[in-house]
Amino acid sequence: MTSHQQAIAYEAPAGLALRSSSNAGSSTPASAPEAKRSRAQAVASRQDTQQQLDVWRSLFAERLAAYEKAVDSHRLRLEAFETEQLGALEQLKASFAAEIRVSDELLAEVAPIAAHDVDAIPSRRAAYSDRTAAFLAKLAMLAYIAFEDDEKRKILEGMLTHGRVKLLETISIADTEAMVAETDKFVVVAFRGTSSRAHLKTDIQARLNVARVAVDGRSVRVHAGFYAAFRKIEAKLREVLIAQDETKAVYLTGHSLGGALALVAAAAFGGNDKLGDRIAAVYTFGAPRVGGADFPNLVKAPHYRVVNSGDVVPLVPPNWLTGYVHTGMPILLKANSDHPIKRKPWSSAFLLILQSLVLWPFARRLRLIKSHDSNLYITRLDRIARFRGKWA
């Protein structure tokens, strides 16, 4: 990796260190011109950081797409070649392996997780952490890699290994997917969000139907689609987690539909279940409402509900129509803020959709789609983590 690419992926804004040191060494009030210059420097530093993150996001998406395209292309070419020229098969495989090595090296240069990210996470703290949120948002994004495909699973393993994270298990049963990974400090379960027509069907089913689940002799209202999707993998996931080191805490996370599944998992593993005490926290990103007013009582672990300003998904289905509620502490991310805001968004789904349609002719894509993008969550959380704490 070149020094320039390292700066794109991980370098903290120089303006932050400069401002911190200057503030620490000064005990007298700054003059008006000095204060103005300081504010201008801070704005410039944030803009520079945002530009670096934008470049990283573009490079990562481009190279990940190229990597996956190369894998798909190679498979098709191998099948044709085996039929026509079996004698030259080994030579072709060697050539493909060289191409994959190059793709792997290029993708590793812009990997979302750095080797030292785990060290910066306060794993013993149950309270909300900017660094933990940024780290788990990246794992939630990596869960979108199609690990059901053995070749693409190698991409996921490479990305995780680059950040000192070990892939323990991938679970894919009837269009419900999750990955289980571990660091030297904790275990993470990242559920995949909406990425297919089957997932969209789950979303729609969840918004139209309600399941009543018996818990301790009482009926609890839960979205039927989310509940049914989680039930498909519950037994396997429980088996995998019970087999892990009991001294390691477990974090549940996911983006969009994946966040909803993480909440259902927290409810299922909580209470008197032997896994309940091991759930350290649940971090969700752009997750919809999951159940009725009685559902939050089932989520025993701390839940941090991270929401981008302008994201419409957390606003559906409407509370006034279905009685569904959110759980946990809302963490609002705004476009130009260097810190999270601990309150829920004020907008309604109707107003956001209307605003998005009005702005559509002047933008490259609908605003509500961009606001729900998992990469935008990562960009904002990474910027905040760099600004507020030790984050490379």
Domain spans, the chain: 1-110, 113-388
Residues in the chain: 392
Q: Of residues 17 and 285, which shows the higher confidence score?
A: 285
71-85, 87-101, 104-118, 274-288: which has the highest mean pLDDT?
274-288
% of the chain residues with pLDDT over 70: 74
Coil/strand/helix, residue 143: coil
Measure the CA dihedral 59/64/67/68, to 10°.
-150
Q: Of residues 152 and 100, which shows the higher confidence score?
A: 152
Distance separating alpha carbons of residues 132 and 250, to the nearest angstrom? 13
Q: Is the pLDDT of residue 389 over 70?
A: no
Q: What is the DSSP letter of 29?
A: P
Q: Of residues 289 and 219, which shows the higher confidence score?
A: 289
Environment class of 339 (CB within 10 Å of its CB; exposed 0-12, middle 13-18, buried 19+): exposed
CATH C-level class of 113-388 = alpha beta
pTM for the full predicted model? 0.76
Name the strand (E) or helix (H) holding 200.
helix 197-208
Q: Of residues 274 and 300, which shows the higher confidence score?
A: 300
- Ranking 71-85, 139-153, 174-188 by mean pLDDT, the lowest is 71-85
pLDDT the model gives residue 359: 41
Those residues with Cβ within 8 angstroms of residue 15's Cβ, 6 or more apart along the chain or in another chain: 41, 42, 44, 45, 46, 48, 49
Q: Of residues 192 and 227, which shows the higher confidence score?
A: 192
Cα 19 to chain centroid, rounded: 30
* 23 pLDDT tier (thresholds 50, 70, 90): very low
pLDDT the model gives residue 279: 92
pLDDT the model gives residue 12: 42
Contact 388, 131 (CB under 8 A): no
Q: What is the overall mean pLDDT for the chain?
A: 79
* 28 pLDDT tier (thresholds 50, 70, 90): low
pLDDT the model gives residue 3: 44
Distance separating alpha carbons of residues 353 and 356, to the nearest angstrom? 5
